[in-house]
């Protein structure tokens, strides 16, 4: 070998990494490959290498030990696949922030390139894996983690504006990561309700190279802005360039839906589902669109597939069960519908506390649509009883569904109350007010409904205005107390939530940091972000809150050996 | 938009063939990994079987490359359907990977590999495909060279140029013609069924052509000459 060539790949501009002392997990269903990977890791000096032959076994080990590096094959035979193991590990917090996850596959997969999966591994490796390639990719993933760690940290704290500033700082320092940092910055700006700055970031990328994700990013901004036709053209352009860029299909379907073209949306989702069938949300969306279109056969196929691919996935959803129950109703099979509704309540009651309400709505719809008005009315009465037994109300969409059904089966009072609740919590949302009025109209309660809407609106506005008055006249403690009360009465009113957080921030700014108030403000903002993510005021208030907090101790990486 | 996935009658058979090829790839990667370790383990005093083991490794690599290329072509490399994955990559990491892939084989055959180029250069490319193409070229050169190979990388006229040169007898005329035909975009005239070198060349050219930027596309050409006067494989990417 010529002397010009060093034996180990050189570390460029960075400290060499001690790969010997790290904890490794190798996951592959083929023992020969496990041995090969173990040997390759040993040649890097690695001593602590655990192995798993299946996804289930891997999860068991991940729950016990915090690994620094996971090499996981995508295809693991029966049971969970590699992506599902990764998703579960992330969702269950079984990984360290510094853990490197390398997904191994026999060939470059569509999923690895389109980047639409919510949980991306740190790198993809294509077999056969050799020591040199492994070391190069490990080093790169590790250094990338170092560059992104403070950004990821700010991201996890939902301080998106700080995270974006950190991206800007890093762009100058690490040229090789510039494109990826711009991608991250664009995403952060979208989450901060700053589409114009997101657009700038995407365009900086496109000035270098025609990256499809950047083009799709520009299209998504158009979509969010309601420019459906422009968005549609751009997504179709992306697909023409790369028809495996599946995320563009999902977005294209949304653009069609925005234009009210459900047939077109359906056919786009159908094609996407054919290209990449194992996505729970895609099959769910396809099923829901088909149901709206009355395409029962296709809806059934999509929902059944959704349930099948969701079997081992943390992303499994009750929507597929409820949707399939509707399908069964339309096919005049109320028995299977009932069985599905019971399965949904059994399997999802923990993660979805309002599943009993949603199952009952669906039951009512199934009977109503099949013409069994007696049973439909019975379901309506049971739904009313369920509502009477609890204080809290589910999300707006479920409330509207309930009100619609209850009116349809002849219940009057409970749906009116539900709609007033919706108005009080969304008193400045004109589109929603129209929607509610339409439900009243359909129930032949146009005038009565109009009165209810007006009085509910006024109630919320009065509550908020009084709080703002106290705040503006400098009565900060009173303002805090008032907004707390207002929140208790209208827990999902975004204007009130934002103002409550604003008042808390002002209080701390004037009278000093207070742990309890800071915690309260974070809770309020987390709630409003759940109700509607990506709002400008959210990002601004999160940043103001972060600035108020006393400087934390310099961060030290956890040095604890967590091996069992 | 065009319809997707027209159901061909032989779809199941194709899937079966592809999955069998994957399975074979698994076995071959185990085989080639084991051979590499045996060669490294043979250490400074190799026994008589050493050159034969080196030959086995070369053949295993060829099998693996061919399978990889067949599978990639089966997945329609060169068409919009292939999951083509361009990223900014440092030249240093590209070179390191090619070198590490060839190291054991070249050492075993007593071939010197000289590497030169701007290691800080950053280029947008599909790393797996390009590492595959260049190390296939190095493997190929290892078979035809006398004792030296030069791997060179530079930017020239807005293109990234990667050269693999050897000091062997150079490429035979039909292959040079095929390379030229590829450059013109015409059919190469090489028959894949009878000429295994054609598959690698065809694959490399497809990979190069997928790399496009501002109206230019990548290319592959074969020459005789270069720094050592032997065969030269030249990959240019915009």
Residue B175 belongs to domain with CATH number: 3.30.565.10
Contact list in B for residue A133 (CB cut-off 8 A) is 97, 100-101, 131
**For residue B7, is pLDDT > 50?**
no
d(CA B182, CA B205): 7
Q: How many angstroms separate the CA of residue B230 from the nearest CA in chain A?
A: 18
Do residue B90 and residue A12 have CB atoms under 8 angstroms apart?
yes
Domain boundary among B76, B95, B117: B76
Q: How far is A511 from chain B (nearest CA, A)?
A: 49
- Residue B151's DSSP bridge partners are B115, B164
Q: Are residues B135 and B21 in the same domain?
A: no
Distance in angstroms (rounded) separating the CA atoms of residues A481 and A475? 10
Based on the domain organization, do B63 and B123 belong to the same domain? no
What pLDDT does residue B54 have? 83
Q: Helix (H, G, I), strand (E, B), or coil: what is residue A1?
A: coil
Q: Does A11 touch chain B (CB under 8 A)?
A: no
CA distances from A121 to A95, A104, A217, A477 (A): 12, 10, 21, 47
A121 in helix, strand or coil? coil
Tokens of B33: 């990994």
What is the domain partition of chain A in residue ranges?
A: 23-145, 462-547
Going residue by residue through chain A, which has 564 residues, state the pLDDT in tens, using 9 for 90 and above. 343 443 344 434 456 788 898 999 999 998 888 988 898 899 888 999 999 999 999 999 999 999 999 999 988 888 888 988 999 998 898 998 889 999 988 766 666 665 555 678 888 888 777 788 888 999 999 989 889 989 988 998 889 999 999 999 999 888 899 999 999 999 999 989 899 999 999 999 999 998 989 999 999 999 988 899 999 999 999 998 877 788 899 999 999 999 999 999 999 999 999 888 888 899 999 999 999 999 999 999 999 999 998 887 777 889 999 999 999 999 989 899 999 999 999 999 888 889 999 999 999 999 998 889 999 999 999 999 999 998 888 889 899 999 999 999 989 899 999 999 999 999 988 889 999 999 999 999 999 999 999 999 999 999 999 999 999 999 999 999 999 999 998 999 999 999 999 999 999 999 999 999 999 999 999 999 988 888 889 999 999 999 998 876 555 444 444 443
Tokens standing for residue B178: 């095929």
Q: Give me B129's structure tokens.
A: 């495909």
User: What is the C-alpha to C-alpha distance for residues B213 and B159, in angstroms, rounded to an integer?
Assistant: 10
Q: Which of A2, A180, A271 sits opposite B114 (nearest CB)?
A: A2
Beta carbons of A10 and B116 less than 8 Å apart: no
Residues from chain B contacting residue A271 (CB–CB below 8 Å): 4
pLDDT confidence tier of residue B187, bands split at 50, 70 and 90: very low
Task: Say if residues B179 and B198 touch (Cβ distance below 8 Å).
Answer: no
Q: What sections of A11-97 are H helices per DSSP?
A: 31-43, 55-64, 82-91
pLDDT at B194 over 70: no
* Ramachandran quadrant class, B38 (left: phi over 0; alpha: psi -120 to 50; beta: rest): alpha
Asked if A241's CB is within 8 angstroms of B80's CB, the reply is yes
Could you say which residues from 199 to 228 on chain A have a Cβ atom under 8 Å away from some Cβ of chain B?
208-211
Q: Which residues contact A130 (CB under 8 A, 6 or more apart)?
A: A40, B33, B36, B100, B101
Residue of B nearest to A134 (CA): B97
What is the pLDDT confidence band of residue B11, given thresholds at 50, 70 and 90?
A: low
What DSSP string describes B85-113?
--EEEEHHHHHHHHHHHHHHHHHHTT-EE
Q: Looking at B76, B96, B121, which one is the last position of a domain?
A: B76
Of A33, A130, A180, nearest to B101 by CB-CB distance is A130
* Minimal Cβ distance to B80: which of A109, A243, A271: A243
Count of H-run helices and E-run strands, chain A: 26, 5
Closest-CA residue of B relative to A114 is B83
Is the confidence at residue B24, as pLDDT, over 80?
no
**Residue A309 near residue A279, CB atoms below 8 Å:** yes
| B46 & B132 share domain | no
Q: Which residue from B25, B27, B100 is facing A133, i.e. has the nearest CB? A: B100
* A77 close to B (CB below 8 A): no
Which residue of chain A has the CA closest to B85?
A: A113
- A345-352 contacts, C-beta under 8 A, 24 or more apart: A347/A316, A347/A318, A347/A321, A348/A318, A348/A321, A352/A318
Listed residue (A458, A187, A338, A11) closest to B96, CA to CA:
A11
Task: Tell me whether residue B4 is in a domain.
Answer: no
pLDDT, position B73: 66
Token pair in block for residue A325? 């129950």
Asked if A324 and A303 touch (Cβ cutoff 8 Å), the reply is yes
ipTM for this prediction? 0.77
pLDDT at residue A558, rounded to an integer: 45
- Cβ pair A4, B114 in contact under 8 A: yes
Q: Does A9 contact chain B (CB < 8 Å)?
A: yes
Of A489, A494, A483, nearest in space to A429 by CA = A494
Q: Give the number of domains in chain B.
A: 2
Asked if B112 lies within 8 A of A275 by C-beta distance, the reply is no
Burial A171-203 (b: 16+ CB within 10 A, else e): beebebbbbbbbbbbbbbbbbbbbbeebbebbe
Mean pLDDT of B118-137: 92
How far apart, in whole angstroms, are the C-alpha atoms of residue A323 and residue A296? 10
Class of domain A23-145: alpha beta
- Beta strand pairing call for A23-27 and B212-213: unpaired
* Within-domain flag for B190: yes
With respect to residue B169, please indicate whether it lies within any of the assigned structural domains.
yes
B92 and B41 in a single domain? The answer is no
Average pLDDT score over chain B: 80
Residues B159 and B216 occupy one common structural domain: yes
pTM: 0.78
For residues B109 and B39, state if they share a domain. Answer: no
- Domain boundaries, position B61: 11-76
Tokens in use for A136? 């190069």
CB contact under 8 A, B1 and A239: yes
What's the Cα-to-Cα distance from A489 to each of A113, A483, A484, A486, B168, rounded to whole Å? 47, 10, 9, 5, 85
Q: Is residue B201 part of a domain?
A: yes
Q: How far apart are CA A121 and CA A138, in angstroms?
A: 12
Candidates A7, A11, A14, A36, partner chain B, best to mutate (most B CBs within 10 A):
A36
What pLDDT does residue B6 have?
46
B128, B180: one domain: yes
Please state at what angle helix A373-388 crosses helix A396-408, rounded to 10 degrees: 140
Question: Of B46, B76, B106, which residue constitutes the final position of a domain?
Answer: B76
Question: Could you tell me if B122 and B185 lie in one domain?
Answer: yes
Contact A539, A192 (CB under 8 A): yes
Our measurement of the distance from residue A331's CA atom to the centroid of its chain's CA atoms, rounded to an integer in Å, reads 33
Query: Are the Cβ atoms of B97 and A136 closer than 8 angstroms?
Result: yes
My answer on whether B34 and B110 are in the same domain is no
Is B107 among the domain residues? yes
Class of domain A462-547: mainly alpha
Residue B115 forms part of a structural domain: yes
Test B99 with A106 for CB contact under 8 angstroms: no
Structure token pair of residue A362:
């669906």
Locate A459 and state its tokens: 């109630």
State the burial class of residue B14 (Cβ atoms within 10 Å of its Cβ: 0-12, 13-18, 19+).
Answer: exposed
């Amino acid at each position: 070998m010529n002397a010009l060539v060093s034996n180990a790949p050189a570390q460029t501009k960075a400290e060499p990494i001690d790969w010997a002392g790290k904890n490794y997990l190798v996951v592959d269903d083929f023992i020969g490959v496990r041995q090969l990977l173990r040997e390759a890791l040993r040649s890097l000096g690695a001593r602590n290498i655990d192995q798993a032959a299946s996804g289930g076994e891997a999860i068991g080990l991940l729950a016990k030990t915090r690994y620094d590096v996971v090499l996981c094959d995508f295809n693991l035979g029966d049971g969970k696949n590699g992506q599902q193991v990764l998703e579960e590990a992330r969702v269950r917090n079984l990984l360290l922030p510094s853990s490197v996850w390398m997904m191994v596959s026999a060939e470059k997969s569509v999923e690895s390139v389109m980047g639409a999966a919510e949980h991306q591994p740190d790198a993809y490796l294509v077999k056969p894996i050799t020591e040199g390639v492994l070391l190069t990719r490990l080093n790169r993933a590790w250094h990338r983690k170092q560059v992104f760690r403070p950004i990821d940290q700010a991201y996890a704290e939902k301080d998106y504006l700080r995270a974006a500033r950190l991206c800007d700082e890093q762009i100058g320092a690490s040229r090789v990561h510039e494109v990826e940092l711009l991608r991250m910055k664009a995403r952060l700006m979208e989450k901060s309700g700053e589409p114009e700055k997101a657009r700038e970031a995407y365009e900086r990328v496109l000035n270098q190279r025609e990256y499809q994700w950047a083009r799709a990013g520009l299209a998504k901004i158009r979509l969010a802005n309601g420019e459906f036709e422009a968005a549609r053209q751009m997504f179709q352009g992306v697909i023409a360039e790369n028809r495996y860029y599946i995320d563009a299909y999902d977005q294209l379907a949304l653009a069609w839906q925005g234009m009210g073209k459900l047939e077109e949306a359906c056919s786009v989702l159908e094609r996407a589902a054919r290209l990449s069938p194992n996505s729970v949300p895609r099959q769910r969306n396809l099923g829901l669109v088909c149901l709206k279109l009355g395409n029962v056969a296709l809806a059934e196929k999509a929902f059944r597939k959704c349930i099948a691919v969701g079997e081992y996935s943390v992303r499994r959803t009750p929507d597929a069960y409820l949707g399939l129950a509707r399908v069964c109703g339309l096919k005049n099979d109320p028995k299977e519908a009932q069985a599905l509704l019971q399965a949904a309540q059994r399997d999802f009651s923990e993660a979805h506390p309002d599943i009993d309400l949603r199952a009952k709505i669906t039951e009512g719809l199934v009977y109503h649509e099949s013409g069994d008005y007696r049973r439909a009315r019975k379901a309506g009465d049971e739904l009313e009883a369920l509502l009477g037994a609890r204080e809290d109300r589910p999300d707006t969409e479920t409330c509207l569904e309930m009100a619609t059904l209850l009116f349809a089966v002849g219940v009057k009072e409970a749906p009116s109350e539900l709609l007033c609740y919706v108005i009080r919590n969304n008193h400045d949302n004109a589109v929603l007010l129209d929607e509610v009025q339409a439900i009243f109209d359909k129930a032949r309660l146009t005038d009565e409904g109009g009165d209810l809407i007006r009085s509910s609106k006024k109630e919320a506005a009065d509550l908020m205005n009084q709080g703002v008055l106290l705040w503006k006249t400098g009565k900060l403690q009173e303002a805090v107390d008032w907004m707390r009360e207002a929140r208790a009465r209208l827990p999902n009113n975004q204007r009130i939530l934002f103002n409550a957080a604003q008042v808390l921030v002002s209080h701390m700014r004037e009278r000093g940091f207070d742990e309890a108030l800071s915690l309260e403000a974070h809770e309020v903002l987390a709630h409003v972000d759940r109700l509607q993510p990506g709002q400008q005021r959210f990002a601004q208030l999160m940043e103001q809150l972060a600035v108020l907090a006393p400087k934390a101790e310099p961060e030290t990486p956890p040095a604890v050996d967590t091996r069992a | 938009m065009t319809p997707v996935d027209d159901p061909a009658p032989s779809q199941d058979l194709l899937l079966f063939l592809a999955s069998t090829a994957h399975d074979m790839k698994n076995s071959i990667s185990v085989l080639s990994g084991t051979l590499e370790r045996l060669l490294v383990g043979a250490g400074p005093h190799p026994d008589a079987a050493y050159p034969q083991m080196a030959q086995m490794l070369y053949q295993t690599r060829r099998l693996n490359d061919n399978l990889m290329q067949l599978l990639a072509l089966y997945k329609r490399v060169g068409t919009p359907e292939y999951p083509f994955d361009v990223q900014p990559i440092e030249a240093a990491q590209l070179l390191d990977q090619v070198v590490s892939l060839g190291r054991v084989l070249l050492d075993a055959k007593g071939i010197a590999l000289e590497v030169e180029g701007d290691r800080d250069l950053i280029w947008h490319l599909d790393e797996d495909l390009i590492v595959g193409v260049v190390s296939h070229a190095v493997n190929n050169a290892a078979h035809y060279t006398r004792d030296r190979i030069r791997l060179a990388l530079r930017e020239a006229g807005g293109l990234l140029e990667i050269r693999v040169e050897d000091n062997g007898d150079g490429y035979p005329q039909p292959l040079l013609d095929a390379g030229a035909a590829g450059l013109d975009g015409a059919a190469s005239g090489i028959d894949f069924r009878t000429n295994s070198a054609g598959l690698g060349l065809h694959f490399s050219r497809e990979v190069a052509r997928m790399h496009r930027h501002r109206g230019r596309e990548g290319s592959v050409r074969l020459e005789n000459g270069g720094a050592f006067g032997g065969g030269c494989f030249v990959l240019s990417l915009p």
